[in-house]
Amino acid sequence: MDWIAIIGTVAFTVSGYLVGVRKHCDVLGIIILALLTAIGGGMIRDVLIQRIPQVFLYTDALWVIAATLVTVSLLRLQKRESQFLLRTFIVADSLGLVAFSIAGAQVGLQYELNGFGVAMLGFITAVGGGMVRDMMVNEVPFILHKDFYGTVAILIALSIYLLEQQGWLTALSLHIIFVIGLVLRLFAHWRELELPKLAQDND
């Protein structure tokens, strides 16, 4: 399922690029944010499972990131009106979230981890890069306060683990999970779904 990793890399590169533009970063700053968003989660995941980060061994992701940055620059995406950029960011970030949740969960299955391990690798791969990106631009990461964000990553990873346990994990089922996960994420954003928050007692 290499296409899943490619989609995730392209999508997170675009979301990192858009954050850099919104924060008025220079060219190097935008490149750094795009890189960290696209490969940060995977690097954290690889460190946890004690293997050399794949981006240090294979250049495929770097070429995808470079091609994506050149493409969005040529399209002058930053010149579009703000509402269009916001919608583009949400869609790109959602695609990256779902794609990397699946990719991370598959790594967990390769290492024969239990359900918790698979869920955590899917979760970290999906949200790690975005968290690093947000913290670098002094924003509270999405996952900590809005949009049902991290929950989607965990649900996707657990679904993959359960399907594998039942012997039902196939290319078709992964496609279905991808579509359902994306729809769930976009629906949660549209409806502004959130997990319950603990209200502070001001008395």
**For the whole model, what pTM was predicted?**
0.89
pLDDT the model gives residue 147: 61
Query: What are the extents of the domains in the chain?
Result: 2-190
Distance CA 28, CA 34 (A): 10
Range 153-170 burial, b when 16+ CB lie within 10 A, else e: bbbbbbbbbebbeeeebe
Two tokens at 56? 């240090």
Share of the chain above pLDDT 70, in %: 94
Would you give the distance in Å from CA 151 to the centre of its chain? 12
Distance CA 180, CA 102 (A): 12
pLDDT > 70? residue 201:
no
Two tokens at 193? 């779904």
Two tokens at 142? 């999405």
Share of the chain above pLDDT 90, in %: 73
Three-class DSSP category at 168? coil
Of 105, 98, 122, the C-alpha closest to 164 is 105
Segment 186-194 long-range contacts (CB within 8 Å, at least 24 positions apart)? 186/90, 186/91, 186/94, 188/147, 188/148, 188/149, 188/152, 189/90, 189/94, 189/147, 189/148, 192/147, 193/147, 193/148, 194/146, 194/147, 194/148
From 15-29, 73-87, 106-120, 186-200, the region with the lowest mean pLDDT: 186-200
pLDDT the model gives residue 64: 95
User: Model confidence at 196, in pLDDT bands (50, 70, 90)?
Assistant: confident
Instruction: Please return the burial class of 191, using the count of CB atoms within 10 Å of its CB with bins 0-12, 13-18 and 19+.
Output: exposed
pLDDT > 90? residue 202:
no
Rounded to the nearest 10 degrees, the angle between the axes of helix 115-136 and helix 27-48 is 160
Contacts of 96 (CB under 8 A, 6+ apart): 7, 8, 9, 11, 12, 15, 37, 38, 126, 129, 130
